[in-house]
Each structure stands twice: as C-alpha cells, then as structure tokens.
Amino acid sequence: MSSKTAEKKYRIPVGILIILLILAALLILTGVGLYDGLKTTRYSISDTRISADFDGFKIAHISDLHSLWFGEGQSEIIEAVAAEKPDIIVLTGDIVDAYRPDFQSVAALFDGLNDLAPVYAVQGNHEDHTRTYKEMNILYEEYGIVYLNDSGVSISRNGSAIYLYGLRDRETASGLARAAEKAPALGGDTYGILLYHRSDMFDQLKDLEYGLVLSGHMHGGLIRIPFFGGIITPKGYIDFGQKYDGGKYTVNGTTLISNRGLAPKHNMPRIFNRPEVVFVTLHCET
C-alpha cells in the first residue's frame, strides 16, 4: 500500500472532527459540572471598625449540612477547617435535616470541631422543626456549642472586642424585620457580625450597621449557570432572578457572605456548585 493511500484511509473529515471535539468538550464540561468534591472558599473583609487586635482574625463558616456525611466521622470537613486554623467557627443552620434527622452526623461534626476553636450556631428552618428542635438543643449543650437564639456575645482580644449576634430563623420578611429591630445597636467604632440562616432575606438586615452578615439556606441555587448564578430556589422552583444565592455582596456598608452549603436538595444534583466550607478573614483598614 502506498503512503498516499494510507494517508487517505486515516484522514478524518473536518465536519466529523468538529463534532468529536464538541462531544469531548461536552463530556469534560459535564464532568466538571457534576464534580462534588468539598472545596474551601476564602474571603477577606477590611473595615475601619476592625481593630488592629483583630487583624487576621479568621472565621470558619459552615452551613446546610442536612445530616450528610463527609468522610468517616465528618473527616473531610474537620480536616478542611483544621488546615485553616480559624479563631472561631460559626454554623448558620440546617446542620440537621428534619426529614431524615441523623443526629449522629451532627454529633460527629460537633465533636470534631470542638477541638479546633469555639463554635457558635444559629438555627435554620430544619432545626426549628418539631422533629429536631429538642434534640439539637441537647447536642448544643452536650458539645459546648454556643447557641445564639436572638442573642449575642462579645469576643475580646487584648482589650478590643467584636460583637457576634445570632437571629433565630424566621420564614417571613416582616417577622425577621421585627426581630432585627431588637438587635443591639452598635457604636460607630464597634464591628458587629450577624448570623442568620436565610441569605435571601439580607435586605431586611443590610441597614442594621453590622459590618458582616453570614448566612446560608440558598444552596448556591443548586444548579449554577457559569457567569450567571443559581436557578433553583430552596423550595425547588426554577427562578432566574435569585438574589444573594452564593458569594459576597456589599450593600450600604454591610457585607453578606452567602455560603453555598454542603448538601444537595430536592433530589437534584449540585451542578457547577461544589459543596463548600467558607473562611472569612478580618482586616483592620486604616
């Protein structure tokens, strides 16, 4: 067989080659989109109200576990947090799932986190459920988790302080607004951090003069369209106009960190939306 004949035999038409390349790209894109390995997401916050004593203060933020397991004894989450050496750990709700309440998964997480830093928690809508409320309060007490139920604490360092306040979950914007009005007013030089479960209700919190709001609930919109955002609501509806579904937002001088959470929802996979543990580092702005 001549070399010219061999070349003709193995030559691929341009049209078929383009189709093969498109199929390969789609396969790669699908693999990337469906990959659900745990990721860490880091943010930095600078504010003149953050004193030099709290420069570099790091917060680990966990949300929406929904009774899932990430490795034996929640090892994936615990190792991710341990690697960052946070000063405090905050949990912003739905750590348990009211419809499949595996409290062992919660206890394993609490047990592992307790060795790393002080842990503060607010309830989500699943902790407020009659199936879970009593048992979660028992676990908070057993593992020394500071449960912030419309209450707050000062965190001191070398004579300086930041204020951490947690709001109990409310389903309606009007109910949240009334509760938020009772949150302690902060002086102009006091940096406040507010924990509340539902990121989509940030508009009721953005004018409280707290520097940082940490929330979850939205699961990142479950299915995220690159460069656009999430499209599935926490109730399972399609909504292309979701606000605050995942990431960092600053409005009126208050920054929201919307944690995309750990669990899927409504039997849907997370697409372009890996489960995450968030870390926020505070910096003094001069």
DSSP code string of 54-72: GTT-EEEEE---TT---SG
Dump pLDDT digits (tens) for 106-136: 999 999 999 999 999 999 999 998 889 999 9
What average pLDDT does range 157-182 have in this prediction? 94
CA distance 271 to 23: 19
**What's the pTM value of the predicted model, to 2 decimals?**
0.89
What average pLDDT does range 53-58 have in this prediction? 97
CA distance 138 to 160: 32
| DSSP H/E element including 121 | strand 119-121
Cβ-contact 221, 231 below 8 angstroms: yes
Cβ-contact 80, 116 below 8 angstroms: no
Dump pLDDT digits (tens) for 246-277: 999 999 999 999 999 999 987 788 988 999 99
pLDDT at site 19: 74
Q: Is pLDDT of 9 > 80?
A: no
End-to-end CA distance of the chain: 79
Structure tokens at 120: 């503060």
Q: Is pLDDT of 57 > 80?
A: yes
Q: Which DSSP string do the residues of 157-222 spell out, in sequence order?
A: ETTEEEEEEEPPP-SSHHHHHHHHTTSPP--TT-EEEEEEEEGGGGGGTTTS--SEEEEE-SGGGS
| DSSP H/E element including 94 | none
**Cα angle 204, 149, 145; round to 5:** 125
Dump pLDDT digits (tens) for 206-223: 999 899 999 999 999 998
Dump pLDDT digits (tens) for 183-212: 998 877 899 999 999 999 999 999 998 999
Please, which pLDDT band fits residue 30 given cuts at 50, 70 and 90?
A: low
CA distance 195 to 103: 22
Chain-centroid distance of CA 162 in Å reads 21
